[in-house]
Structures are given as C-alpha cells and as structure tokens.
A and B are shown apart, each in its own frame.
Chain A
Amino acid sequence: MNAPERRALPRWSEPSSAATEAAAQEQSQPSRLAAGGLIDRSRPLSFRFDGVTLRGYAGDTLASALLANGVTLVGRSFKYHRPRGVLSAGVEEPNALVELRSGARREPNTRATTIELFDGLVARSQNRFPSLRFDLGAVAGLFSPLLAAGFYYKTFMWPASFWERVYEPLIRRAAGLGRASNDPDPDRYERSHLFCDVLVIGAGPAGLMAALSAARSGARVVLLEEDRALGGRLLAETEQVGGLPAWAWAEQVGAELAAMPRVRVLTRTSAFALLDHGVVAALERVSDHLPEPPPFEPRQRFWTIVARSVVLATGAIERSVVFPGNDRPGVMLAGAVRSYLNRYAVLPGRSAVILAAADEALRTAQALERAGASVAAAIVPSAERSNPLAQALGRLGVRVVAGGAVVATSGWHRLRSVRLRDETGRAFSVEADLLAMGGGWNPSVQLACHLGHKPRWDDQAAAFVPATLPPRVHAAGAVRGAATTHAALAQGREAGLAAAERAGFSGALPELPAAEDAPRSVPPLFRMARGRGKAFVDFQHDVTDSDIALAYREGFRASEHVKRYTTHGMATDQGKSAGVAGLVLLAQLSGRSIAATGTTTARPPWTPVTIGAIAGPHRGKSFRPARLTPTHAWAEAHGAAFAEIGLWYRAQWYRRPGESGWRDSVDREVLTVRRAVGIADVSTLGKIEVVGPDAARLLDLVYANTMSTLRPGRIRYGLMLREDGFVLDDGTVARLAEDRFFLTTTTANAARVMQHLEFCHEVLRPELDVSLLSVTDAWAQLSVAGPKARALLTAVIDPGQALDDRALPHMGFAEARVGGVSARLYRLSFSGERAYEIGVPADHGEALMEKLVALGAPLGAAAYGTEAIAVLRIEKGHPAGAELNGQTTARDLGLDGLIAADKDCVGKALANRPALIDPERPCLVGLRPADGRTQLRAGAHLLRLGAKAQSQNDEGWITSACFSPTLGHPIALALLARGRERHGERVRVYDALRGGDTEAIVCPPVFYDPEGKQTRG
C-alpha cells in the first residue's frame, strides 16, 4: 500500500473514479483519505450507529469508521453528560463507549476504538436521553458544584428513611453507562491451557524481536498481541524498519514466526494478569469481530499460560493534558491522530492545534499536512523554543507558541475554536476542529505490578518505569522507557535471548534491522493555567482538577486515597491515559516530587474481562460435575425426583401415576417399608477398604468404640470423633477377614473421612502396616428393608448361602452370589425394620435393582428414596447429618457410652473439656406437637413456656422433623438444654423465620419400636 498522498478536496465528479460504488463510498465517508492506510478498500462494509447507516472498510475499527463518516459526537459523559468524542485509538479510550449488538448479545461499554468493524454491525451511544445530540442529562452540568467528588458523602442525609427508599434507587438508576442484556448468553466460551518456554507479551518492535530471538534458539515460544495485526505502534507511524515500511517488516517477521513449528502467535489476545509461578492469564477475542461465532467456535477463550520466562513488551500509552475544555469532541491524543491518518486513512479534523513536545508535534503536523489538513498553531514546552524540531514546525507554516498554554476551548457538539495564551500572557483565539494533545508516554507497566512490584518515577523519561521485576520476567522497549524504535528493537532481541537462556536454551542474537533513532524531547508535564471551563483529569468519571484540589483540601494526601475519594482512575480505562496527570496535580498541591507521591497499585485485569470467559464451559448444570449412582437411569425412568446432595444426584422419592404431591409418594414408601419391603439405592455412602495386619489398630485409633474385638463376619456401628472432641462422622465397620475391614461413612463426609484416615495413618501412625482405598464407586449398594426383606433376599440370592438368622444374624456379614456375580451381604438397619444391604460391583447395580423390583412385586415391594429414608430414621431417632453437624458431641447425642474406656482414640481427651460435658449443653430429645397435628420444622427454636422470644431464652432447636405416616402425626428430633431430664415437659416451639409459634411435648428420641424388636426379626 502507498503512503497517504496529499489529499485533494472531495470532488465526486472526478472522472478517474473507478465505479459508482467507490464514488458513493467516498461521498458517504467525507473524512476518508483517497488513498493509503492499512484498510482493505476492496471490502466495503456497512454498519449502523444510533440508527443511521454508515459505511466503512474491512480493517476499520468502529471509531475510525465513525470518524471517516464525519461522526465526531459518540457519547455523553458519566456525571455531567457532556458531549464526548473519540479521544484515542486503543484500549485506553475513556469516551467512545458504545452499546454493541442487540438482543441476548447486547453488550454495554465497549470501546469503539477496539471494536473491529464487521458488516451489519449495530452500535448505539449510551448515557443519553432522549438522544445523543439533545440529552436532558446535560442539566446535571448546571449542578456541578453540588456534584463534586465525594458529594454523596455529604448529601442525601435527610430524611434518613429516604436513603433506602428514594435516594439510593435514584442514584443506582443514574449510575452506570450502558445496559447489559438480561437474556442468557447464546455463545460458547472456552478455557484452555498453554505451556511454553518463553512468553512474549506484545508484538510491537520489541516484542517481535524478542519472539524472533527466543524462537531461533529452539525454545517453545508464545507471542501475544492485543490487536488483530502484529506491529504495535509501527502500524500507526510512517517510518521504515529494515528498509521496509514498518508495517511490512512486522508482517514479514510474523510470517517467519508463523512458519516455525514451536512458535504460537495469538492475535486479538490480551494478557490481563500476571500471576504467581510464571502463570499469565490471557483473553482471546476469537469471534468478537464477527457477527456471530462460526458453528462450534467460542466467542472468547480464556488462556491460562504457564511460561518459564516472560518478556513484557507491552509498549506505552500517551498521556492526556489537563487544560480547560479538554474534553470536547475533537480533542484527541496526538499519537491517536497519527493512527487515524496513517493506519486508517481518516482525517480527524481539517484545522488543528497541537499541544505536545516538539518531536511529537512535528510528526503530527507533518502527518496532518500530508493529508491535506492545516495546522493553525502548535504549543511546545518553553524549553524547546530553540529546538531545531520546533524550527522545522515553523517552516511548515505552523505558528509555534513555545511556553504557551490553552486557556479555553469552545464548541458544544464539536470543537470550534481554541483560546491560547503565549508566554507573555497575550491571549488569542484560533479556529480549529481538532486539538491534538500529547502529554508524554506512560509505559504500560501494569502487568509487571500485579505481583506487588511498584514502578519508580524516572525523571529523565518523565514516566513510571519498572523498578524491580518479578522473577523470570524481562521487560523490553517502550515499557522500559525506550524512546526510539531502534532502542525497542535492540532491547527486544536481548530480552528474548535472555528469556530463552533462562529457560535452558541458547542461541545467537538476530541481526538488528535499521530503524529510526532520532533524539527525543523530554515529554512535557504541562502546567496549564486556570482558565474558563472544566479541566478534566479523568474523562470517564468526569473528575476535574478542582476535584483533585478538593480532595487535597479535605485532607487526603496518599495517591490511593485521592483515587478512591475522587474516583479518578477507577473507570473501565483504569487511568491508562489520565492517571499520571492526576498524580502530577497531587504532587504540585502537596509540594512533593512525583517520585515521592508515588502511584496507585495496579491490579488485574488489564482490560475488562467478561464473566462468560472466566466461566468457560462451566455454566448452568456444568458448573460442577454430577455424580450419578449405578441406578440413576432406572430411577429416572421410574418417576424419581432428584436431590443434589453435594455432587451426587439421589432419588428423593419415586412418583407413581396418580400421586399429586411428594407427601403421597413418601408416605406410601415409608409404609411399604414398615409393612412389606422397600428397596433403596444407598451407593452414595462412602465406602473404604482398610487392609493389612495393622488395620484393626488403626481403626481403634480413629473410632471411639473398639473395632479390634469385632469378629470376622460381623458388623459394628462406628462413631468417629474429631481431634477437638466433636463428632466427625458415623457409619458401620464390617470385618471381612482378620486383616480386612470394610467401612461405610455418611455421603457428605466420605472424602473428609478418607482424608482423616490417611492423615491418621501417614502422620500419626506411619509405622502401621495398613493400606486404605476409597471404593465408593466400586460397589452398587442397595438396601432391602421391611418385614418381608428376607423373603425377597431369598428370591434374589443364588442358592448356596443360607439366610436364616443363625447364618446371617443382625449385624452380620456374608458373601453370596446374585445372578452369578459375587455380592456382599450386610445385615444392618437404618430404618428399624429387618434390613439387608446387598453390594455388587457397580456395573451390575442397575440389573440388580430391576431384579429386586421384579421379584419383589408379589411381595408388595417398592423402591424408596432419601425422603422416606429420613422419615424412617427419624421415627427411630438415629442421628444423621442434621445432628452430626460438627457442633455436637457424642454426649449430646446420647452416644457417649460408645467411647471405649480402655483405649485412646482421636478426640477422646478434648471430648472431656468442661464446656463439652456441661450439663446445660443441648442434648438429643424427641418432640411431638402438643395438639397432635401442627407441623414442626427443623430450625425452629425451643423456649420455656411463657419465656419471651429472645436469644437469651433460647434453650435449643429442632434438628430434624417430618410427618410420620407410621404414627399418623408430626414428629421431630431436637437438641434441648438438659433434655434428658425434661421428658414429658411442654416447650414453646418458636420459628421466627417462617412465622411459627406452637407447643410441643418433649419425649425420648425414639418414636417407633423402642426395644428394636423389628430389626432382630
């Protein structure tokens, strides 16, 4: 492509126009230069902004296309609703925030300067009503003295009740800029991992050389670039590198890197966080530049990159300048003006004033003149009056005002004139529709600071540069303060090789291509005089220099405090272009140097990251994995409603046709177990094999009761305590052989108990010869419970194993076969009826369930779920999760008799602490409603009759409650202070949360078959 030519005034009767379409394009883009730029004029695009159809080209951003169409008003500021235009050409944009797309994909606050234009793009301006040109919100500007920084700390005080009902909702509605969509996001997002030896962040001149250096040494290299094309600042200037136009050199290096098999180049990818251990988080905008993601492609991808070394080549961002009226549409960063001219072939204005250091001013003036604009005046620092660059400016026909200042600007929807003052104090106005300001360049050091390394102020560079770097991180180029392309290239190739060497590779430095190396001016830190109009420091949050002064007057000195009080630097641009200006003001006010004032802490993310990308595929049900039991499919097919218990899906009940509510199903299932036989899937309970000559000794340590005396073929209930004396879990222990035990735990504590056992073995008793293995998923475990349980079992078990009470007594274990498959039989009961559990290898669980249900049909058998299990065990008073909540002791639950007197165990000593044996502690009781029918609810509190409902009168609470179909009335288990002495007493049951207040009678915590005759049969 050619360099931009001197542009003639638009004449669309030019006979040399190729096609009507091209002419129409030119006519519709009045500010597009006739030739040049890195856009693709063979691919015209059409888009809509605020309902108006406009034209652009492939390669445009939304901002460049808007400017090409002469659209300079793009938004309204946050607080004062001032008209705003495009300030920059990159991620630092604070003004041109638009709402993009529509429907479920609508996204607010996107920067028009980074949105790649695509055909059919729809965008709307934000924060204005009824329209961008005429916004009622601008009236807020009249109240600006009342809306200064921190105004909400001093206003909206009275009346106090109004805050919650009136003020806060109003402020909330006024806050924010754009509207998010409330619809579910239709796009996919991905997460992925990438490993490499050298990660280079930034593909400008420094980054490209670093990548080349490292790649040629044979290292695995990943190069990240935020833009869609490689080159960084080279794409915005008209210089030459290695004898080629800079952008062409960048392309050439990109091609070489793309051809290397161990190199990965990711464009449209921002590194947004530097984390510990060489981990970098990056966001790839895979499909943001397309109307829709292609089938199966994600919208965005979150990369977790692990690198042995990192090279930061993140470049620098230009600073804005603080002067009155610096926020009007048409005031832009000087470097951005050159980007629009050189890269996008767009003329941002026809008559310009420049406010920058001499070298920056000269480059900008030359670019403008080449494009056919005129430069009315250029303000350079006083010290550069005799600088040859300033003189070159003069020779271009520009009026050079050394040591001058801007005192005001005018123009509401667009800049119209600039009022200047020269060093002698003489003021004069200049007509201009563009003001290009350049306050120097800020190295983008943020990533280097994420791990707590603060940058230092360098007076020579007049910028914050990296001071110390995290281990294995190198910096190269403008981010280190390098001022010329040549310096960036040189630093880049050295950093790349150093990074590769740190990762264990060696190589040679690649050749250094020729590049510009002109001496640079010291960037100015303009101290603009006070003039007419607001001088903005932070554009996005409407923070002015008087806000900074106000914060200082109110006693804030630290930069962090001033930031938070004024909200300067807290918007989506995070002070990228304006941060230092605020610090300079604070330094001036407090009489300190900038180095002493310091800068605020930079934290991730570098640019905003969508929540969708962080979630990746873990959305909706995929938020966490689901654990399914072996009979899950069978349960689904038979009317099961599932409860999520941790990760498990367990059938709560099995609804039969005709049953309308869950109580119908649960009551039926409970009665089936009490009268016939029920079958339940209890596979989710933790199962652990403990094997070895010292297995019994380990179990004696972890259980409160004694397991070493358990005979093979027998089962014992086991109570496990925590080290601090509270109950950890309960379950059963079956001794399969002299050196082999099979433990069960509650579902919720399976992993915790396994960890506890491993800790006790590895740390407390490493000398024991014992192995532990979690086998929860190895076995499908089905409970067969009810008076007819033995009949069903006999039908199911293969002949060869006797099932009478002598061969298999209560709490006995036997091995058997079912359908030729080896099975384990346990006789134990949680329901209080005669019950067995059958364990078969998990793959056979579903077939076993089918077989049991089929063979049980003539016996009246039915499957039962977790709700029925709960009712049955509450009727029997067995503690479960609600009672074993980590705050109860064995004594509370009436199980202290299980703690063996003649041996030590985990938790034994601390279980005898005075607070844990205090007779006032709530202990387990049963409750029945005094009126025989009012429902009792778990969580309700217990009070003495007549006591006031206050927490100091609280005497306990209900842990588990249900309706008992067996007894025909509600029952509950509760913890009540001195409960054992209070059987027969009436207590008040107070449920403030759900509005319940009733009376109940305390009774022993077992409602059905207290002597346990049913289990023994």
Chain B
Amino acid sequence: MAEVLLEARSPLAALLQSGRAGRADGPAGVRLRERRPIGSAALLLRSGGRERLAAALRADFGLELPVTPRRSARASLSLVWSGPRQWLAFEDRSEACPGRSFVAGLARAVGDAATVIELSGARALFDIEGPETETVLSRIVPVDLDSSVFGNDAVALTLAGHVGVALWRRGSAAAFTLACSRSFAASLAEALIEAALCVGCEVLDPV
C-alpha cells in the first residue's frame, strides 16, 4: 500500500487551538473540539432499495437505518439521516484498523440499493458538550433542543448562525455534534466560540 505523502490538513487547525476562551473563572460552560472521522460518505437511496438497504446495514454493520431525523450508531460507525432518501455515514477513529477502506466496504455491502459517495473532508464536524451547551446553541440554532422534544440521537437540519448544519444529540447527554460544509468551517467555529464566550469555552484537541 502506497504511503500517503500528500498531507491532509483540517481547515480548523489554526482556528481551534486548544485553550480557554471567554470567561476565565470557574469551570468552562462548554467544551468544544473538532471531530475528525477517518471516513465519511453520503448514502443516497436508489429507487425501490429501501428494504434491501436496511437489511444490508443491519446484517453487515448492526446498524438500523433511520427513517426519521435520527442517528443510529454502533461501535465506531454511525448513520445520520440528512434528508429524504439521504444519510451521512461516519467511521470514527477508534478500534478501527487505519487501513480499512470504509467507503469501499459500505459500497460492497449496500450493492445497488443505494449509491455511496465518498465525502472525506467535505464536512467539518464540531463536538460541543458541557452544562451550558443548550444555552450556547440556542444563541445560534433556531430549533428547540430541550430533551423533552429533541431526545436521544435526534437530528435536525437547520442553521447555526447563517451556516447550514446537520446537528444531532449524541446519546442522552448534553452533548451535540454539528456538521457543516468544509468551506464554512471557519465561520461556524467563530460563531460557536462567540456564542460561548460568556459561559467560558474550553477548546480541546480534535478527536
């Protein structure tokens, strides 16, 4: 396997330097970090392929296909509903072997039930969590994020400030991930930090 000599660089490397921003006293109200999946792809449903797609995902990856705005996750793989007949698939850095080609595996598994298009680096992802997460997000996101209506693994396609995002709650915690198109990454990072200044924002290393 050829060595990768052409470096990959995140658009957020310079902007999201680890450290504390905003209010300095007391624990930070939120913690912010970039999320860098080792693989991401778009899954586009083909005509009549819904049942076969759901079956393939269940069999090969143990993942349920979300049919409403939800996220389903298992081990290092997650599937996020991102529109009618569309999903985003992510493989996180973890026990996964670095050499595995996630996209190829996915394409093999789904066959002609869906089209798989590689999207590595096309989206910038932000993880935000902490006691003041909902306060901070409510400054830029016009969606009700209260756990009574936006529960575990709920997904919303909405705006954060002026940037289009897919946003989901990770599990049951006050922990969210926002995904935007790569070219908007700097603007979204600035909007998130600006919204978090008054509660104190701890920027952590990418995960």
Contact = CB atoms under 8 A, between A and B. Distances in A.
A852 to B, nearest CB: 11
A622 B190 contact: yes
Nearest to B135: A192
A632 B183 CA distance: 10
A228 B2 CA distance: 68
Nearest to B143: A193
A689 B22 contact: no
30 contacts: A190-B139, A194-B138, A195-B149, A220-B146, A298-B198, A617-B161, A617-B194, A622-B190, A624-B162, A625-B161, A625-B163, A625-B184, A626-B187, A627-B183, A627-B187, A628-B185, A630-B182, A692-B115, A769-B47, A771-B115, A773-B44, A775-B122, A776-B181, A778-B121, A798-B2, A819-B6, A821-B4, A842-B182, A844-B121, A847-B6
B97 interface: no
A778 B117 CA distance: 10
Among A618, A772, A778, residue most surrounded by chain B Cβ atoms (within 10 Å): A778
Contact of A847 (B9, B44, B46): B9
B112 to A, nearest CB: 9
Given A622-B190, A625-B187, A628-B183, A821 B6 contact: yes
A843 interface: yes
A691 interface: yes
A769 B182 CA distance: 29
Among A624, A627, A817, A846, residue most surrounded by chain B Cβ atoms (within 10 Å): A627
A220 to B, nearest CB: 7
A673 B24 CA distance: 52
A861 interface: no
Interface string A608-627: 00000000011000101111
A775 B117 contact: yes
A818 B6 contact: yes
Interface string A302-336: 00101000000000000000000000000000000
Contacts of A840: 6
A973 to B, nearest CB: 30
B198 A817 contact: no
Given A296-B197, A817-B2, 16 more contacts: A195-B149, A622-B190, A622-B191, A625-B163, A626-B187, A628-B11, A630-B11, A691-B44, A771-B44, A775-B117, A777-B181, A778-B122, A818-B6, A819-B5, A847-B6, A847-B7
B51 interface: no
B191 A617 contact: yes
A912 to B, nearest CB: 34
A298 B23 CA distance: 13
Contacts of B115: 691-692, 771
A648 B187 CA distance: 12
Contacts of A625: 161-163, 184, 187-188, 191
Number of chain A interface residues as a range: 35 or more
B181 to A, nearest CB: 4
Contacts of B191: 617, 622, 625
Contact of B22 (A195, A296, A648, A819): A296
Among A691, A771, A817, residue most surrounded by chain B Cβ atoms (within 10 Å): A771
The binding surface of chain A is classed by DSSP as mixed
Contacts of A776: 181, 183
A800 to B, nearest CB: 9
A843 B183 CA distance: 11
Contacts of B85: 771
Contacts of A220: 146, 148
Interface in A816-849: 817-821, 840-844, 846-848
Contacts of B86: 773
A843 B121 contact: yes
A473 B188 CA distance: 36
Contact of B195 (A617, A769, A841, A851): A617
B27 interface: no
A769 B112 CA distance: 11
B119 interface: yes
Among A630, A633, A841, residue most surrounded by chain B Cβ atoms (within 10 Å): A841
Contact of B46 (A618, A769, A820): A769
Nearest to A648: B183
Interface in B6-45: 6-11, 14, 22-23, 42, 44-45
Nearest to B197: A296
Interface string B182-207: 11111110110011011000000000
Nearest to A840: B6
Contacts of B119: 775, 778
A745 interface: no
A754 B197 CA distance: 37
A794 B162 CA distance: 42
Contacts of B2: 798, 817, 820
B60 interface: no
B3 interface: yes
A277 B181 CA distance: 30
Contacts of B186: 626, 628
A191 interface: yes
A24 to B, nearest CB: 37
A848 B8 CA distance: 10
A681 to B, nearest CB: 12
Interface in A743-791: 769, 771-773, 775-778
B110 to A, nearest CB: 12
A632 B11 CA distance: 9
A545 B163 CA distance: 54
Given A691-B115, A691-B117, A627 B184 contact: yes
B72 interface: no
Nearest to A683: B183
A689 B198 contact: no
B183 A306 contact: no
A846 B10 CA distance: 10
A333 to B, nearest CB: 39
Nearest to B160: A625
A458 interface: no
